[in-house]
């Protein structure tokens, strides 16, 4: 009975997807707003990367929502995991010297790559979320290689997380106060196109998002590793 209901539901969903996809022409530009982003995005925001100009300039309010969701997910995970009774320390074998030295050698390089990704977010592909995820994967490597010796600094993680969020919101509120009066208005000078110090507030916001996402994701890994 359940299988029959499942198959019927699958057929209904497939029919809905097929009929709605048939209505959309593939490869032609029908949406006017996308054309506007592609043609005018560079002049209006000053960012060479069009994806960044959409994420941090045209749709930055949505980005604030995404960052808030990630923050709430981290808090929820922390609340759930700290109520569980902690297990006693299992006797784990220490990683070999080659593995731990390799992890220690690669760790700063991966951190540097993540920082590059979010600092150059307005010029090259990538941005705050990708850079933050790369930084968190550097912490994963460190936790796999030498878990017993190296841990995340608790206060540093909390500080960078809250400072990132604060910088984002405060810059948005300054944009509300000056200039054309809307949230996250790009009030700073756009600068010379395709240089590092350009595009006004976009690099600042991306650096804040990078710090915030990186510390949140590595905090999630830290919480889970602590419990296992």
Compute the least distance from the CB of residue 228 to another protein, in Å: 5
Q: Which residues contact 172 (CB under 8 A, 6 or more apart)?
A: 60, 64, 183, 184
Compute the least distance from the CB of residue 12 to another protein, in Å: 23
Angle, CA of 56, 125 and 194, to the nearest 5°:
75
Hey, what long-range contacts does 126-131 have (CB within 8 A, 24 or more apart)? 127/49, 127/51, 127/52, 127/55, 127/56, 127/206, 127/209, 127/210, 128/205, 128/206, 128/207, 128/208, 128/209, 128/210, 128/212, 128/213, 129/66, 129/209, 129/213, 131/206, 131/210, 131/213, 131/214
Query: Which residue, 176 or 225, has its beta carbon nearer to another protein?
Result: 225
Query: Which residue, 204 or 220, has its beta carbon nearer to another protein?
Result: 220
Q: How many residues does the chain have?
A: 228
- Six-digit token pair at 177? 């106060």
Query: Which residue, 192 or 227, has its beta carbon nearer to another protein?
Result: 227
Compute the least distance from the CB of residue 224 to another protein, in Å: 5
Query: Which residue, 53 or 160, has its beta carbon nearer to another protein?
Result: 53
Compute the least distance from the CB of residue 113 to another protein, in Å: 10
Query: Which residue, 140 or 176, has its beta carbon nearer to another protein?
Result: 140
How distant is the alpha carbon of residue 56 from its chain centre? Answer: 12
Query: Which residue, 84 or 177, has its beta carbon nearer to another protein?
Result: 84
Compute the least distance from the CB of residue 136 to another protein, in Å: 6
Compute the least distance from the CB of residue 1 to another protein, in Å: 23
Query: Which residue, 147 or 187, has its beta carbon nearer to another protein?
Result: 147
Using CB under 8 A as the criterion, which residues of the chain lie in contact with another protein when the complex forms? 49, 51, 117, 125-127, 129-130, 133-134, 136-137, 140, 217, 220-221, 224-225, 227-228
- Six-digit token pair at 58? 């045209």
- Least Cα distance to 208 among 156, 159, 163, 153 occurs for 163
The span from the CA of 99 to the CA of 89, in Å, is 22
């Amino acid at each position: 009975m359940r299988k029959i209901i499942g198959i019927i539901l699958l057929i209904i969903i497939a029919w809905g997807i097929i009929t709605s996809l048939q209505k959309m022409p593939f490869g032609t530009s029908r949406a006017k707003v996308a054309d506007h982003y592609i043609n005018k995005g560079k002049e209006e925001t000053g960012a060479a990367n069009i994806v960044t100009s959409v994420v941090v300039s045209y749709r930055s309010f949505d980005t604030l929502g995404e960052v808030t969701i990630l923050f709430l997910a981290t808090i929820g995970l922390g609340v759930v995991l700290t109520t569980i009774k902690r297990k006693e320390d299992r006797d784990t074998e220490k990683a070999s010297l080659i593995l731990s030295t390799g992890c220690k050698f690669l760790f700063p390089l991966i951190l540097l790559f993540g920082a590059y990704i979010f600092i150059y977010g307005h010029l090259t592909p990538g941005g705050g979320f990708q850079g933050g995820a790369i930084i968190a994967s550097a912490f994963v490597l460190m936790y796999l290689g030498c878990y017993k010796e190296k841990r995340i600094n608790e206060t540093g993680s909390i500080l960078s997380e809250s400072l990132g969020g604060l910088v984002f919101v405060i810059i948005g509120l300054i944009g509300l106060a000056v200039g054309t009066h809307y949230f996250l208005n790009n009030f700073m000078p756009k600068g010379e196109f395709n240089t590092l110090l350009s595009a006004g507030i976009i690099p600042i916001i991306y650096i804040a998002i990078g710090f915030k996402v990186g510390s949140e994701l590595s905090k999630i890994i830290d919480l889970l590793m602590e419990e296992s």
